[in-house]
């Protein structure tokens, strides 16, 4: 049975208002009425699942300003891309716990940046526990949409990410379907591994607008399906019964042309639904910077454009879930 409205998911909490993945970001998202929140997880040197969007953390913490960690700066190749910075796998959890969260895009979200350096980095367990507590406090089921980052990369460092996630979910009481759990990744291998371990939840395959998943590209090279090929009917056929749904870059629905003009909605949502697959999309943001060209307005990149027109196309396409940075706006629009 279709939902009466899309699931409204606080993307890294409420990062339109607070530094992403901070405690106050998650608390605010749930206070604003989000149905679920989305923590991203990476791995520390001692095998702790840490909540950060990437394993390189200089853009979202104060690590670069900490002289005691200056010698940890390194250059690495992560999923085929060379990156210089500070990486979670080079720190123990006790060290990471001393770091403080910072706004990723302070030029766009100056108000959020006023909360910089106030809140510690969180573990997955911290987020699982706070969502459970909020569910009890608010008297309604609140969910976690857990995104696993760079599983193949961490495997090369000796970490079985599926095993780490399995252990943590079972210890926190989130493995048996008592609360709404969704597990998502851009790599299908780790999703399959967790499903085989018997973790009860919904499994969602994340699809970029371009490129190939790193796990399959590592194994098969250019023979691996691209994300776009996976989103086509034949690719979706192969996902049926393997995952519960897909989560696509919103551009795969909006289908803007080279001038930023809407040509969608595309058929991807209908194609997936015909095969029994749910469809989430990311990320619904109101700022001009993040809207396709047709819906940008005056006032510069940080000003809100005509986001409601863009979101109308997404809603009317029939998506089952939306990731939002401003949960109050998402709840008002998609549930209103």
pLDDT digits (tens, 9 = 90+) for 207-227: 999 999 999 999 999 999 999
Check whether 2 has a pLDDT greater than 80.
no
How much is the pLDDT for 336? 79
Is the Cβ–Cβ distance between 55 and 43 less than 8 Å?
yes
At residue 81 the predicted structure's pLDDT band, cuts being 50, 70 and 90, is very high
> If pLDDT is split at 50, 70 and 90, which confidence band does 3 have?
low
124 falls within a domain: yes
- Could you tell me the residue range of the domain that residue 278 belongs to? 7-334
The mean of the pLDDT values for the chain is 97
196 Cβ partners below 8 Å, 6+ apart?
A: none
* φ, ψ dihedrals at 330, nearest 5°: -65, -45
Q: Are 37 and 9 in contact (CB under 8 A)?
A: yes
pLDDT over threshold 50, residue 102: yes
With respect to residue 2, please indicate whether it lies within any of the assigned structural domains.
Answer: no
Cβ of 219: how many Cβ atoms within 10 Å? 12
Q: What share of the chain is helix, strand, coil (3-state, %, to 5)?
A: 40, 20, 40
32 within some domain: yes
- Domain presence at residue 303: yes
pLDDT for 90: 98
* CA terminus-to-terminus distance, the chain: 20
Residue at 286 is within a domain: yes
The stretch 41-65 carries a mean pLDDT of 98
Residue 311 pLDDT exceeds 90: yes
pTM check: above 0.95: yes
Which CATH number covers residue 267? 3.20.20.190
Spatial CB neighbours of 33, under 8 Å, sequence gap ≥ 6: 8, 327, 328, 331, 335
The verdict on residue 310 lying in a domain is yes
321, β-bridge pairs: 7, 280
Confidence of residue 1 (pLDDT cuts 50, 70, 90): very low
The answer to whether position 244 is within a domain reads yes
CA-based diameter of the chain, in Å? 55
Does any domain span residue 154? yes
Number of domains in the chain: 1
């Amino acid at each position: 049975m279709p939902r009466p409205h899309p699931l409204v998911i606080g993307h890294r909490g409420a990062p339109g208002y607070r530094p992403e993945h901070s405690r106050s970001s998650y608390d605010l998202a749930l206070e604003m009425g989000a149905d679920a929140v989305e923590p991203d997880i990476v791995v520390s040197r001692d095998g702790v699942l840490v909540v950060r969007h990437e394993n390189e953390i200089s853009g979202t913490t104060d690590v670069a300003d900490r002289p005691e960690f200056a010698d940890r700066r390194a250059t690495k190749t992560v999923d085929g891309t060379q990156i210089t910075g500070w990486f979670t796998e080079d720190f123990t959890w006790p060290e990471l716990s001393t770091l403080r969260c910072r706004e990723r895009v302070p030029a766009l979200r100056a108000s959020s940046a006023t909360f910089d350096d106030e809140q510690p980095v969180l573990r997955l367990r911290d987020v699982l526990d706070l969502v459970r507590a909020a569910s009890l406090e608010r008297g309604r089921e609140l969910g976690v949409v857990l995104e696993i980052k760079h599983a193949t990369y961490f495997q090369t460092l000796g970490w079985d990410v599926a095993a780490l996630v399995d252990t943590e979910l079972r210890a926190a009481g989130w493995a048996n379907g008592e609360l709404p759990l969704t597990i998502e990744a851009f790599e299908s291998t780790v999703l399959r591994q967790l499903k085989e371990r018997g973790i009860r939840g919904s499994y969602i395959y994340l699809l970029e607008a371009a490129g190939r998943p790193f796990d399959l590209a590592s194994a098969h090279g250019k023979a691996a399906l691209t994300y776009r090929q996976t989103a086509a009917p034949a690719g979706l056929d192969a996902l049926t019964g393997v995952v519960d749904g897909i989560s696509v870059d919103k551009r795969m629905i909006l289908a803007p042309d080279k001038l930023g003009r809407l040509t969608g909605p595309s058929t991807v949502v209908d194609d997936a639904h015909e095969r029994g697959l749910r469809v989430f999309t990311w990320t619904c943001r109101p700022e001009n910077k993040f809207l396709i060209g047709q819906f940008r307005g005056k006032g510069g990149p940080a000003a809100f454009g005509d986001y409601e027109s863009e979101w109308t196309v997404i809603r009317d396409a029939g998506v089952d879930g939306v990731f939002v940075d401003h949960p109050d706006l998402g709840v008002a629009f998609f549930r209103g």
